Amino acid sequence: MTDSPQMIFVNLPVRDLEASKAFFAALGYSFNPTFTDNNAACMVVSDSIFVMLLVESFFTQFTNKPISDARTQTEVIIALSAPSRAAVDAALDKALKAGASEPQPARDYGFMYQRGFQDLDGHLWEFAHMEGEPG
C-alpha cells in the first residue's frame, strides 16, 4: 500500500448505457472520456470514487456468476455522504426528476438523515447526512 488515497471503482451492470449516462448526468455527475466507450462509462463521483457503468454483456466478462436483476433483488446499496439535510433532499429531487424512484420514505435518526433512490436499472443508492461527520 502507498501513502496516496486508495480509490474505489464500483462496477454496475446496465441495460442501456446511453440512458444510464443521461440519467447520472442529470444528477450532476461527469464521465471520464479516457475510460468511456460503447461498453462502459467511467462516472466520476469524487477524486477517489468512480462508478463503472458496464453494459451487461461486457460486465459478464468479469464474473462467472449470473448478473442479479437489481429491479427484483438487492445486490448492494451504494451510500454517499451529503454535507447537509438540504443537500440530501436536493440530490433526491434531481434523481426523481431524472426518472428514479424512491423505494422508501426519508429516514431521520436524529444524528443521521438519509434518503435513497432506485436508478434506471434498479440499483439502490442513498444519500446521507451525518451530524459530526469526519472530513
Query: Model's pTM, two decimal places?
Result: 0.87
- Count of domains for the chain: 2
Structure confidence by residue, pLDDT tens digits, 57-108: 999 999 999 999 999 998 899 999 999 999 999 999 999 999 999 999 999 9
pLDDT of 133 > 70? The answer is no
Cell digits of residue 134: 469526519
For residue 110, give the CATH number of its domain: 3.10.180.10
Q: Do 10 and 57 share a domain, yes or no?
A: yes
Q: How confident is the model at residue 56 (pLDDT cuts 50, 70, 90)?
A: very high
What span, in angstroms and rounded, lies between the C-alpha atoms of 1 and 7?
12
Q: Do 73 and 38 share a domain, yes or no?
A: no
What span, in angstroms and rounded, lies between the C-alpha atoms of 102 and 46?
24
Q: Do 95 and 124 share a domain, yes or no?
A: yes
Q: Do 57 and 74 share a domain, yes or no?
A: no
- The residues facing 117 across adjacent strands are 125
pLDDT of 12 > 70? The answer is yes
Q: Do 95 and 51 share a domain, yes or no?
A: no
pLDDT of 135 > 60? The answer is no
Q: Which one of 62, 83, 112 terminates a domain?
A: 62
Where in the sequence is the domain holding 30, given as residue range(s)? Answer: 1-62
